[in-house]
Structure 1
Amino acid sequence: MFWKKKKHVTAEGLAWFSYAVMLPDMDDEEKEVTVIGNLIIKNTGNTNLNNPMICLRIKPPENVRLGGKIGSLTHTALMIDGTNSEAWHYIDDNWKEKSLENGEHWLKPNHCRQLEPGGSLTFSNELRILTTKKEKFVMVEGFFYCDEIKNGIGALNNITINF
Protein backbone atom coordinates (compact mmCIF):
# COMPACT_ATOMS: atom_id res chain seq x y z
CA MET A 1 0.00 0.00 0.00
CA PHE A 2 1.33 3.44 -0.97
CA TRP A 3 0.75 6.39 1.28
CA LYS A 4 0.32 9.75 -0.28
CA LYS A 5 2.41 12.36 1.41
CA LYS A 6 0.39 15.45 2.23
CA LYS A 7 1.70 18.62 0.65
CA HIS A 8 2.63 21.19 3.29
CA VAL A 9 1.09 24.59 2.53
CA THR A 10 3.47 27.50 3.01
CA ALA A 11 2.56 31.16 2.80
CA GLU A 12 5.85 32.98 2.26
CA GLY A 13 7.02 36.04 0.49
CA LEU A 14 9.93 38.37 -0.11
CA ALA A 15 9.89 42.13 -0.47
CA TRP A 16 12.70 44.44 -1.54
CA PHE A 17 13.41 47.89 -2.92
CA SER A 18 15.16 48.61 -6.19
CA TYR A 19 15.81 52.31 -6.64
CA ALA A 20 17.96 55.09 -8.07
CA VAL A 21 18.85 58.39 -6.41
CA MET A 22 19.03 61.60 -8.44
CA LEU A 23 20.87 64.51 -6.88
CA PRO A 24 19.70 68.07 -7.47
CA ASP A 25 21.42 70.50 -9.79
CA MET A 26 23.69 72.56 -7.55
CA ASP A 27 22.47 75.76 -9.22
CA ASP A 28 18.84 75.17 -8.23
CA GLU A 29 17.56 77.30 -5.36
CA GLU A 30 14.99 74.68 -4.31
CA LYS A 31 17.17 71.63 -3.92
CA GLU A 32 15.41 68.27 -3.95
CA VAL A 33 16.79 64.76 -3.95
CA THR A 34 14.61 62.49 -6.09
CA VAL A 35 14.40 58.75 -5.47
CA ILE A 36 12.71 56.67 -8.17
CA GLY A 37 12.16 53.05 -7.36
CA ASN A 38 10.03 50.02 -6.80
CA LEU A 39 8.95 47.93 -3.87
CA ILE A 40 8.76 44.43 -5.30
CA ILE A 41 6.83 41.65 -3.58
CA LYS A 42 7.31 38.02 -4.63
CA ASN A 43 5.25 35.04 -3.48
CA THR A 44 7.88 32.43 -2.58
CA GLY A 45 5.42 29.98 -1.01
CA ASN A 46 3.18 27.37 -2.58
CA THR A 47 -0.22 28.94 -1.87
CA ASN A 48 -2.00 32.10 -3.00
CA LEU A 49 -1.50 35.27 -0.95
CA ASN A 50 -4.84 37.08 -0.67
CA ASN A 51 -5.59 40.78 -0.22
CA PRO A 52 -2.02 42.09 -0.49
CA MET A 53 -1.15 45.45 1.07
CA ILE A 54 2.00 47.37 1.83
CA CYS A 55 3.17 49.91 4.36
CA LEU A 56 5.91 52.40 3.55
CA ARG A 57 7.29 54.07 6.67
CA ILE A 58 9.22 57.27 6.05
CA LYS A 59 11.43 58.66 8.82
CA PRO A 60 11.29 61.55 9.47
CA PRO A 61 7.98 62.18 7.66
CA GLU A 62 8.40 65.95 7.25
CA ASN A 63 9.49 67.47 3.94
CA VAL A 64 9.24 64.19 2.03
CA ARG A 65 6.65 63.74 -0.72
CA LEU A 66 5.64 60.26 -1.86
CA GLY A 67 4.41 59.96 -5.40
CA GLY A 68 3.84 57.16 -7.83
CA LYS A 69 0.92 55.18 -9.14
CA ILE A 70 -1.41 56.18 -6.31
CA GLY A 71 -5.00 57.15 -6.99
CA SER A 72 -8.55 56.12 -6.36
CA LEU A 73 -10.00 52.75 -7.26
CA THR A 74 -11.69 54.17 -10.34
CA HIS A 75 -8.85 56.38 -11.58
CA THR A 76 -7.37 54.93 -14.77
CA ALA A 77 -5.12 57.74 -16.02
CA LEU A 78 -2.35 56.74 -13.64
CA MET A 79 -2.37 53.19 -14.99
CA ILE A 80 -1.81 54.03 -18.64
CA ASP A 81 1.94 54.57 -18.60
CA GLY A 82 3.26 51.52 -20.45
CA THR A 83 4.76 49.78 -17.42
CA ASN A 84 3.66 46.52 -15.92
CA SER A 85 3.28 47.88 -12.40
CA GLU A 86 -0.02 48.07 -10.59
CA ALA A 87 -1.85 51.25 -9.59
CA TRP A 88 -2.44 51.56 -5.84
CA HIS A 89 -4.73 53.43 -3.44
CA TYR A 90 -4.55 54.50 0.19
CA ILE A 91 -6.43 52.29 2.65
CA ASP A 92 -7.52 55.16 4.91
CA ASP A 93 -9.49 58.24 3.92
CA ASN A 94 -7.46 60.39 6.32
CA TRP A 95 -4.15 59.09 4.95
CA LYS A 96 -2.57 62.54 4.73
CA GLU A 97 -2.94 63.27 8.46
CA LYS A 98 -1.82 59.76 9.43
CA SER A 99 1.25 59.83 7.17
CA LEU A 100 2.35 63.20 8.57
CA GLU A 101 1.82 61.93 12.11
CA ASN A 102 3.64 58.58 11.93
CA GLY A 103 5.27 58.52 8.49
CA GLU A 104 3.27 55.43 7.45
CA HIS A 105 1.65 55.09 4.04
CA TRP A 106 -0.74 52.09 3.89
CA LEU A 107 -1.57 51.08 0.31
CA LYS A 108 -3.45 48.35 -1.54
CA PRO A 109 -3.26 47.52 -5.24
CA ASN A 110 -6.29 48.61 -7.25
CA HIS A 111 -6.75 45.34 -9.11
CA CYS A 112 -4.54 42.59 -7.69
CA ARG A 113 -6.52 40.67 -5.06
CA GLN A 114 -4.38 37.55 -5.08
CA LEU A 115 -0.70 36.84 -5.60
CA GLU A 116 -0.12 33.34 -6.98
CA PRO A 117 2.90 31.18 -6.07
CA GLY A 118 5.92 32.49 -7.98
CA GLY A 119 4.07 35.68 -8.86
CA SER A 120 5.21 39.19 -8.07
CA LEU A 121 3.64 42.59 -7.48
CA THR A 122 5.34 45.98 -7.85
CA PHE A 123 4.67 49.37 -6.30
CA SER A 124 6.43 52.02 -8.38
CA ASN A 125 7.18 55.15 -6.42
CA GLU A 126 8.92 58.46 -6.43
CA LEU A 127 10.15 60.32 -3.36
CA ARG A 128 11.08 63.98 -3.35
CA ILE A 129 13.17 65.11 -0.40
CA LEU A 130 13.93 68.76 0.31
CA THR A 131 17.61 69.21 1.10
CA THR A 132 16.84 72.39 3.07
CA LYS A 133 15.20 70.40 5.87
CA LYS A 134 16.67 70.31 9.37
CA GLU A 135 17.31 66.55 9.44
CA LYS A 136 19.86 65.55 6.83
CA PHE A 137 18.70 61.97 6.38
CA VAL A 138 15.65 60.01 5.25
CA MET A 139 14.95 56.32 5.70
CA VAL A 140 12.15 54.43 3.95
CA GLU A 141 11.14 51.01 5.26
CA GLY A 142 8.78 48.67 3.39
CA PHE A 143 6.46 46.00 4.75
CA PHE A 144 4.16 43.50 3.02
CA TYR A 145 0.96 42.08 4.51
CA CYS A 146 -1.78 39.73 3.33
CA ASP A 147 -4.49 37.52 4.85
CA GLU A 148 -2.03 34.65 5.20
CA ILE A 149 0.82 36.78 6.62
CA LYS A 150 -0.99 39.05 9.07
CA ASN A 151 2.16 40.08 11.01
CA GLY A 152 3.79 41.12 7.76
CA ILE A 153 7.28 40.79 6.41
CA GLY A 154 9.84 43.56 6.19
CA ALA A 155 11.64 44.41 2.99
CA LEU A 156 15.11 42.91 2.63
CA ASN A 157 16.55 46.41 2.33
CA ASN A 158 15.65 50.01 3.15
CA ILE A 159 16.10 53.20 1.20
CA THR A 160 18.51 55.37 3.18
CA ILE A 161 19.56 58.83 2.04
CA ASN A 162 22.09 61.02 3.88
CA PHE A 163 22.92 64.50 2.59
Structure 2
Amino acid sequence: MFWRKKVEERIECQSWFSYSVMLPNIEEDEQEVMIIGNYIIKNTGTETLNKPIICIRITPPKDVRLGGKIGSITHTALMVDGSNSAAWEYIHNDWREKSLETGEHWLKPKVNAPLLSNESIAFAYELQFPLTQKEKYVNVEGFIYFDEINQGLASLNKMTINF
Protein backbone atom coordinates (compact mmCIF):
# COMPACT_ATOMS: atom_id res chain seq x y z
CA MET A 1 0.00 0.00 0.00
CA PHE A 2 1.24 3.47 -0.93
CA TRP A 3 1.11 6.27 1.56
CA ARG A 4 0.35 9.61 0.14
CA LYS A 5 2.75 12.21 1.41
CA LYS A 6 0.93 15.32 2.57
CA VAL A 7 1.88 18.35 0.50
CA GLU A 8 2.99 21.25 2.64
CA GLU A 9 0.80 24.30 2.11
CA ARG A 10 2.77 27.32 0.89
CA ILE A 11 1.58 30.86 0.29
CA GLU A 12 4.11 32.50 -2.04
CA CYS A 13 4.48 34.24 -5.35
CA GLN A 14 7.06 35.84 -7.59
CA SER A 15 6.87 38.88 -9.82
CA TRP A 16 9.22 40.29 -12.41
CA PHE A 17 9.53 42.79 -15.26
CA SER A 18 9.92 41.67 -18.85
CA TYR A 19 10.64 44.66 -21.11
CA SER A 20 12.24 46.20 -24.18
CA VAL A 21 13.79 49.67 -24.34
CA MET A 22 13.26 51.73 -27.50
CA LEU A 23 15.73 54.57 -27.91
CA PRO A 24 14.78 57.53 -30.10
CA ASN A 25 16.24 58.05 -33.52
CA ILE A 26 18.81 60.86 -33.41
CA GLU A 27 17.08 62.69 -36.28
CA GLU A 28 13.70 62.78 -34.50
CA ASP A 29 12.54 66.05 -32.98
CA GLU A 30 11.04 64.37 -29.92
CA GLN A 31 13.80 62.68 -27.97
CA GLU A 32 11.77 60.21 -25.87
CA VAL A 33 12.69 56.80 -24.59
CA MET A 34 9.92 54.20 -24.64
CA ILE A 35 9.86 51.02 -22.56
CA ILE A 36 7.27 48.38 -23.42
CA GLY A 37 6.78 45.29 -21.33
CA ASN A 38 4.87 43.19 -18.84
CA TYR A 39 4.93 43.01 -15.07
CA ILE A 40 4.29 39.31 -14.51
CA ILE A 41 2.96 37.85 -11.26
CA LYS A 42 3.08 34.08 -10.74
CA ASN A 43 1.58 32.09 -7.88
CA THR A 44 4.47 29.78 -6.94
CA GLY A 45 2.76 28.43 -3.84
CA THR A 46 0.21 25.68 -3.34
CA GLU A 47 -2.67 27.91 -2.21
CA THR A 48 -4.94 30.24 -4.17
CA LEU A 49 -4.11 33.96 -3.89
CA ASN A 50 -6.88 36.58 -3.85
CA LYS A 51 -7.26 40.27 -4.72
CA PRO A 52 -3.88 41.23 -6.23
CA ILE A 53 -2.68 44.81 -5.94
CA ILE A 54 0.53 45.98 -7.56
CA CYS A 55 2.64 49.02 -6.82
CA ILE A 56 4.86 50.33 -9.61
CA ARG A 57 7.30 52.87 -8.11
CA ILE A 58 9.01 55.20 -10.57
CA THR A 59 11.82 57.58 -9.64
CA PRO A 60 12.08 60.39 -10.42
CA PRO A 61 8.27 60.65 -10.38
CA LYS A 62 7.93 63.62 -12.71
CA ASP A 63 8.34 63.46 -16.50
CA VAL A 64 7.82 59.66 -16.67
CA ARG A 65 4.46 58.58 -18.09
CA LEU A 66 3.00 55.15 -17.33
CA GLY A 67 0.49 53.78 -19.81
CA GLY A 68 -1.16 50.49 -20.58
CA LYS A 69 -4.66 49.13 -20.12
CA ILE A 70 -5.21 51.38 -17.11
CA GLY A 71 -8.16 53.32 -15.83
CA SER A 72 -9.33 54.67 -12.51
CA ILE A 73 -12.37 53.48 -10.60
CA THR A 74 -14.44 56.19 -12.27
CA HIS A 75 -12.80 56.20 -15.67
CA THR A 76 -12.11 53.81 -18.53
CA ALA A 77 -8.80 52.54 -19.89
CA LEU A 78 -6.36 55.25 -20.96
CA MET A 79 -4.76 53.24 -23.70
CA VAL A 80 -5.37 49.94 -25.44
CA ASP A 81 -2.18 48.03 -26.18
CA GLY A 82 -3.63 45.59 -28.72
CA SER A 83 -2.64 42.55 -26.65
CA ASN A 84 -4.82 40.06 -24.86
CA SER A 85 -3.79 41.38 -21.46
CA ALA A 86 -6.40 42.26 -18.87
CA ALA A 87 -7.31 45.81 -17.95
CA TRP A 88 -6.15 47.28 -14.64
CA GLU A 89 -7.39 50.26 -12.67
CA TYR A 90 -5.99 52.65 -10.10
CA ILE A 91 -7.13 51.95 -6.55
CA HIS A 92 -7.32 55.70 -5.70
CA ASN A 93 -9.40 58.35 -7.44
CA ASP A 94 -6.66 60.94 -6.88
CA TRP A 95 -4.07 58.68 -8.52
CA ARG A 96 -2.56 61.43 -10.66
CA GLU A 97 -1.62 63.61 -7.68
CA LYS A 98 -0.38 60.63 -5.64
CA SER A 99 1.78 59.29 -8.48
CA LEU A 100 3.34 62.71 -9.19
CA GLU A 101 4.11 63.16 -5.49
CA THR A 102 5.38 59.67 -4.58
CA GLY A 103 6.10 58.02 -7.95
CA GLU A 104 3.88 55.11 -6.86
CA HIS A 105 1.15 53.73 -9.10
CA TRP A 106 -1.23 51.44 -7.15
CA LEU A 107 -3.22 49.18 -9.47
CA LYS A 108 -5.60 46.23 -9.31
CA PRO A 109 -7.17 44.12 -12.07
CA LYS A 110 -10.56 45.34 -13.29
CA VAL A 111 -11.73 41.72 -13.16
CA ASN A 112 -10.74 40.27 -9.81
CA ALA A 113 -10.29 36.51 -10.30
CA PRO A 114 -8.41 34.27 -7.84
CA LEU A 115 -4.84 33.37 -8.86
CA LEU A 116 -4.58 29.60 -8.60
CA SER A 117 -1.37 27.72 -7.87
CA ASN A 118 1.06 27.88 -10.83
CA GLU A 119 -1.03 30.49 -12.66
CA SER A 120 0.18 33.92 -13.76
CA ILE A 121 -1.31 37.32 -14.49
CA ALA A 122 0.38 40.25 -16.19
CA PHE A 123 0.12 44.01 -16.34
CA ALA A 124 1.08 45.18 -19.86
CA TYR A 125 2.63 48.64 -19.63
CA GLU A 126 4.38 51.36 -21.56
CA LEU A 127 6.71 53.94 -20.02
CA GLN A 128 7.82 57.10 -21.78
CA PHE A 129 10.20 59.83 -20.69
CA PRO A 130 12.14 62.60 -22.45
CA LEU A 131 15.92 62.55 -22.71
CA THR A 132 15.77 66.24 -21.84
CA GLN A 133 14.56 65.67 -18.27
CA LYS A 134 16.67 67.11 -15.45
CA GLU A 135 17.60 63.80 -13.82
CA LYS A 136 19.52 61.53 -16.15
CA TYR A 137 18.12 58.23 -14.86
CA VAL A 138 14.84 56.36 -14.37
CA ASN A 139 14.32 53.58 -11.81
CA VAL A 140 11.24 51.32 -11.85
CA GLU A 141 10.43 48.93 -9.01
CA GLY A 142 7.50 46.55 -8.57
CA PHE A 143 5.72 45.19 -5.51
CA ILE A 144 2.85 42.69 -5.28
CA TYR A 145 0.24 42.34 -2.55
CA PHE A 146 -2.57 39.83 -2.01
CA ASP A 147 -5.07 39.29 0.80
CA GLU A 148 -2.79 36.43 1.84
CA ILE A 149 0.47 38.41 1.38
CA ASN A 150 -0.41 41.79 2.86
CA GLN A 151 3.17 42.82 3.70
CA GLY A 152 3.99 42.78 -0.02
CA LEU A 153 6.86 41.27 -2.00
CA ALA A 154 9.38 43.09 -4.18
CA SER A 155 9.82 41.98 -7.78
CA LEU A 156 12.75 39.75 -8.69
CA ASN A 157 14.20 42.54 -10.84
CA LYS A 158 13.88 46.26 -11.37
CA MET A 159 14.63 48.59 -14.26
CA THR A 160 17.39 51.18 -14.15
CA ILE A 161 17.93 53.36 -17.19
CA ASN A 162 20.85 55.79 -17.19
CA PHE A 163 21.43 58.27 -20.00
Q: TM-score, normalised by structure 1?
A: 0.90
Higher deviation after alignment, 120-129 or 70-79: 70-79
Change (3 A) 1:24 1:143: same
Tell me which residue corresponds to 1:34: 34
Percent identity over the alignment is 54
Q: CA offsets, 1:69-127, max 9 Å, x none?
A: 1024684796683x331110000000000000010000000113310001000000000
Change (3 A) 1:113 1:39: same
Tell me which residue corresponds to 2:8: 8
Report the number of matched residues: 161
- After superposition, residues 11-160 of structure 1 pair within 5 angstroms as 11-72=11-72, 75=76, 81=82, 83-160=83-160
CA distance in 1, matches of 2:77, 2:29: 35
Q: CA offsets, 1:28-47, max 9 Å, x none?
A: 22210000011000000001
Contact 1:56 1:106 in 2 (8 A): yes
CA distance in 2, matches of 1:152, 1:31: 36
Change (3 A) 1:104 1:10: same
CA distance in 2, matches of 1:94, 1:112: 21
CA distance in 1, matches of 2:134, 2:157: 25
For residue 50 of structure 1, report the CA deviation from its aligned partner: 0.4
CA distance in 2, matches of 1:126, 1:114: 25
Q: Which amino acid counterpart does residue 159 of structure 1 have in structure 2?
A: M
Q: Which amino acid counterpart does residue 62 of structure 1 have in structure 2?
A: K
**C-alpha RMSD over aligned residues:** 2.1
